[in-house]
Amino acid sequence: MKHSIASVCLSGNLKQKIEAAAAAGFRGIEIFENDLLLYDASPAVVRRIAEDNNIDIIALQPFRDFECMPRQNMKKNYDRAERKFDTMAELNTDTLLICSNVSPACVDNPALAAEQFNRLADSAASRGIRLGYEALAWGRYTADFTAAWDIVKQADHPNLGIILDSFHIFARGRDLSAIAEIPGDKITLVQIADAPWLKLDVLQWSRHFRCFPGQGQFPVVEFMQEVAKTGYDGYVSHEIFNDEFRSTPTQDTALDGKRSLLWLENEMAGRAPDIVAPEIAEKAIAPPQASVSDVEFIEFATAGSARDTFLELISALGFQQTHQHKSKDVALFRCQNVNFILNQEPDSFAQNHFLVHGTSVCAVGYRTDNAQNMVSRASYFKYSRFETEARPQEMQIPGIRGMNGELVYFVESGSDHRRFYDVDFIPLETSAPVSKAAMRVDHITSGISESEFLSTSLFYRVLFALNVDQPQDLIDPYGLIVSRTATSQNKKIRLPFNMSRSGNSSTEQFRRRHGGSGVQHIAIHCDDMLTYIEHVDQKYILQIPENYYDDLEARFDLSPELSAKMRKYNLLYDESPTGYFIHCYTIDVNGLFFEIVQRHQYGNYGEANAHVRIAAQVTARQKNQN
């Protein structure tokens, strides 16, 4: 599969877009007409920039409102096309993309359209140019790729083919099986875009919410599998209109675009190797399979009096120091199966993280059966490795740089069943645990910026092979929060991530306090919540308004005993068709807070109570300020 990207996907000027696409590893780039019009250099200069960066200009696009116009307009349209052919000669590209007419002046006459395209293709052929016709989902009369294909067939010219764009096909709800009826040599170009499923005007949906494959919900793998059946062996090119991409650094977006195509071709090969694998032209070695299975540890950067405040909170939750690192100022605190590492090592990544962000999560370790494979997978998808220094007889834990400034470690589960703390740490004498309830990490939630939202989705999907759900809205007293969750098949890794366009929302307030994006919220599952909470000092628990419990009792059939206990210990409650959910939240330290949860056949996250928690946090902050 030859990888290309349209310049419209990227921020910056045309030179910056070409350079970023080439640096990311793309072999081709489509030049969007507006990018060329707004660039202060000739098409010949653009050509040289592409040549200097060893990337092909595979097409000029789009040529609009051509077919089925009144007679007086058609002469001008043919003249416009000739001017575009001149520009293409300067750019050294041989493909012009023509999108279906949206003008109210055009007429519904497929036979006439075919005749006009035949004439235009004759002219293009004399100059060594191919034409591709694309059905826009909002085209006036040609809005479906099958209608566009009928016109191309009727025109019957070797220099005219069809453009297949996944967005326009899915936006129209078309059956993909019709793609197989098109011969591969009649497909001029395949354009690929993902998107969330939204009930919007299709033009607004297209202009603002397209995204790279793997960042949305469209069945893009199935689309490409159908394309592969045609025998098409040309470029697959991103064409993405997205507000976030226009505000994201050019190089970062281009890298994500490359990652998404690497992911797409490997998903294709994995699902249907007999059809797809022989067609993959890049010959890249497929990455090892993702193998993360659980959260092994969460590492915090802290120091001085901030450490004392943080220790006070986690000690109240039942954490005790059980181990001390052999050679570093690193302590391990445990509560049942939850491992918290507190890192105060001077001149370390953790301490640099603390200086920037204060007390915060600086790393998360994930359990895997092959750590080096996970690092190799990360390198394949162009994520940066992080090298740590291990002394003799200490475990070398490979890692990469994560999305939000923290590190991601891969901790291998050895055949001898020894854990990382059995190798690198010295055990300490500890008292009996306050609670014997089984506990484990339930989910880890990050607060991120809007510009990181889609990149984070891609990171979890391509690297960890997690399922990333549809975005959902959470109500905040000062705005709206958009949330997605990445989840492993075994449900042991759950990673929600939130962003908000509202400057005073809880997510943005956290990011200001934290000095950027990062982990905001850690949820710990407890299998006996009602007994556990009796041992937790309520001064560390977020206070919930009494009105919440009045409403709760009206909505659910709670026993008087349960209702009384929930009021006493500031517990929240939710039900699903299959089970129930009890949870509570702690006060925060530097914007970071904990949640204790108990699930009983309940797969959600207590979203129904999110607005209650956020409002209670606002009230708590206001009280502290006063």
pLDDT single digits (tens) 193-242: 999 988 888 999 998 999 999 999 999 999 999 999 999 999 999 999 99
Return the structure tokens found at 22.
């080439």
Report how far residue 341's alpha carbon sits from residue 44's, in angstroms, rounded to the nearest whole number.
58
Q: Kindly report, residue by residue over 390-445, the tens digit of the pLDDT.
A: 676 677 899 999 988 899 999 987 666 778 888 889 999 887 776 778 999 999 99
Q: Are residues 159 and 68 in the same domain?
A: yes
Return the structure tokens found at 135.
């059905």
Report how far residue 91's alpha carbon sits from residue 188's, in angstroms, rounded to the nearest whole number.
18
Residue 261 lies in a domain: yes
> Domain count of the chain?
3
Is residue 3 a known part of a binding site? no
Give the DSSP H/E element, type plus range, for residue 583.
Answer: strand 580-585
Report how far residue 219's alpha carbon sits from residue 512's, in angstroms, rounded to the nearest whole number.
37
Closest of 166, 455, 440 to residue 295, by C-alpha: 440
- Helix, strand, or coil here: 261? helix
Is residue 239 a known part of a binding site? yes
Residue 285 — pLDDT band, cuts 50, 70, 90? low
Q: Which residues contact 414 (CB under 8 A, 6 or more apart)?
A: none
pLDDT at position 283 is 46
Residue 254 lies in a domain: yes
Is residue 134 a known part of a binding site? yes
Q: Are residues 454 and 385 in the same domain?
A: no
Q: Are residues 257 and 223 in the same domain?
A: yes
Listed in order, strand segments (DSSP E) in 142-291 are: 160-165, 187-192, 235-238
Average pLDDT, stretch 140-157? 97
Whether residue 281 is predicted with pLDDT greater than 60 in this model: the reply is no
pLDDT at position 277 is 45
Average pLDDT, stretch 445-471? 94
pLDDT at position 272 is 63
Which among 233, 248, 279 is the end of a domain? 279
pLDDT at position 536 is 95
Which among 224, 247, 279 is the end of a domain? 279
- Helix, strand, or coil here: 317? coil
Residue 403: C-alpha distances to residues 140, 309, 388 (Å): 42, 27, 18
Q: Are residues 241 and 354 in the same domain?
A: no
Q: Which residues contact 322 (CB under 8 A, 6 or more apart)?
A: 332, 333, 334, 421, 427, 428, 430
Report how far residue 135's alpha carbon sits from residue 193's, in angstroms, rounded to the nearest whole number.
15
Residue 433 lies in a domain: no
Residue 286 lies in a domain: no
Phi-psi region of 321 (alpha: psi -120 to 50; beta: other; left: phi over 0): beta
Is residue 553 a known part of a binding site? no
Q: Kindly report, residue by residue over 153-193, the tens digit of the pLDDT.
A: 999 999 999 999 999 999 998 789 999 999 999 999 999 99
Domain that holds residue 405: 292-427
Residue 559: C-alpha distances to residues 5, 403, 556 (Å): 59, 44, 9
Is residue 168 a known part of a binding site? no
Q: Are residues 29 and 147 in the same domain?
A: yes
The residue assigned the tokens 């999305």 is 403
Average pLDDT, stretch 268-284? 57
Q: Are residues 123 and 262 in the same domain?
A: yes
Whether residue 341 is predicted with pLDDT greater than 80 in this model: the reply is yes
Residue 539 lies in a domain: yes
Residue 103 — pLDDT band, cuts 50, 70, 90? very high
Is residue 521 a known part of a binding site? yes
Report how far residue 333's alpha carbon sits from residue 320's, in angstroms, rounded to the nearest whole number.
5
Residue 563, domain CATH: 3.10.180.10
Q: Are residues 251 and 324 in the same domain?
A: no
Closest of 436, 472, 586, 574 to residue 523, by C-alpha: 586
Average pLDDT, stretch 363-370? 94
pLDDT at position 271 is 72
- DSSP per-residue codes, 498-567: EEES-TTSHHHHHHHHHTSSEEEEEEEEETTHHHHGGGS-GGGBPP--HHHHHHHHHHS---HHHHHHHH
Q: What is the mean pLDDT of the chain?
A: 93
pLDDT at position 485 is 96
Query: Do 364 and 402 form a contact (C-beta atoms < 8 A)?
Result: yes
Residue 285 lies in a domain: no
Residue 432 lies in a domain: no
pLDDT at position 279 is 44
Is residue 443 a known part of a binding site? yes
Work out the percent of the chain whose per-residue pLDDT is above 90: 83
Residue 22 lies in a domain: yes
Closest of 471, 541, 522, 528 to residue 500, by C-alpha: 471
Q: Are residues 464 and 567 in the same domain?
A: yes
Q: Kindly report, residue by residue over 536-592, the tens digit of the pLDDT.
A: 999 999 999 999 999 999 999 999 999 999 999 999 999 999 999 999 999 999 999
Q: Are residues 423 and 458 in the same domain?
A: no
Q: Are residues 507 and 620 in the same domain?
A: yes
Whether residue 52 is predicted with pLDDT greater than 70 in this model: the reply is yes
Whether residue 247 is predicted with pLDDT greater than 60 in this model: the reply is yes
Q: Are residues 517 and 590 in the same domain?
A: yes
Which among 233, 250, 279 is the end of a domain? 279
Q: Which residues contact 557 (CB under 8 A, 6 or more apart)?
A: none
Q: Are residues 538 and 390 in the same domain?
A: no
